[in-house]
Chain A
Amino acid sequence: QKEVEQNSGPLSVPEGAIASLNCTYSDRVSQSFFWYRQYSGKSPELIMSIYSNGDKEDGRFTAQLNKASQYVSLLIRDSQPSDSATYLCAVITGTASKLTFGTGTRLQVTL
């Protein structure tokens, strides 16, 4: 079983809609959870971090964490064509600050 799993997509949503990106992780003691956005040919950019159960909102982005279900999601409201990118879920387990990445979900926002 992969440590961090994401649907590779592509996930296609129309402009203005809500994009919902999902991620599951296998290690129950995982403590820190991150969403990165990666445009083609660019390095990953941190967009959200979440550490406790519930929702965390930042502008058009909302991260949701459910540790009991080992599930973390990212909602993007009012999706824009500029949101088209690959979204990487990353998890830290333990004290070594080691980030484990999922394979990423490619999001396409269509006009």
Chain B
Amino acid sequence: SAVISQKPSRDICQRGTSLTIQCQVDSQVTMMFWYRQQPGQSLTLIATANQGSEATYESGFVIDKFPISRPNLTFSTLTVSNMSPEDSSIYLCSLQGLSVLDEQFFGPGTRLTVL
């Protein structure tokens, strides 16, 4: 199975600033996704990162707030822009497995705290 890494693993940021989270996979994958897990909550899909085109955002999430890049089949970034304390969450990237349809596997996550 693919190995997924995320950077940074955690960060503490000041409100009004932006943070870019990187997701690196050790093999080429077609589908990559970004999720948010707020404290004590379940996971919510932010967007699907499409290689070579604009990301597809879910209801309630917009590109200006969460710009996403997907320059190739092994890498994606999520930026959390103009942060507020409400953005304090764990951000996770995931990929769709190659061997079984629809199975998704998650990276280790980035724990973000906004002061």
Verify that A and B bind, or say they do not. Answer: yes
Measured CB to CB, the residues of A under 8 A from B are: 31-32, 34, 42-46, 49, 88, 92, 96-104
A96 to B58, CA, bound (A): 11
Give the 4 A-B residue pairs with the shortest CB-CB distance, closest first: A43-B106, A32-B102, A101-B42, A43-B109
Cβ B92 vs Cβ A43 within 8 A = yes
Query: By the criterion of a CB under 8 Å from any partner CB, how many residues of chain B are at the interface?
Result: 23
A97-B33, A101-B43 known; 5 new pairs, CB 8 Å cut-off, are A42-B109, A45-B106, A92-B102, A103-B41, A104-B42
**Chain A hits for B100, CB < 8 A:** 49
Residue of B nearest to A31 (CB): B102
A111 to B101, CA, bound (A): 38
Measured CB to CB, the residues of B under 8 A from A are: 31, 33, 41-45, 48, 58, 90, 92, 94, 96, 100-109
Cβ A97 vs Cβ B109 within 8 A = no
A101 to B90, CA, bound (A): 15
**Chain A hits for B106, CB < 8 A:** 43-45
**Chain A hits for B101, CB < 8 A:** 32
Cβ B103 vs Cβ A88 within 8 A = no
Cβ B102 vs Cβ A103 within 8 A = no
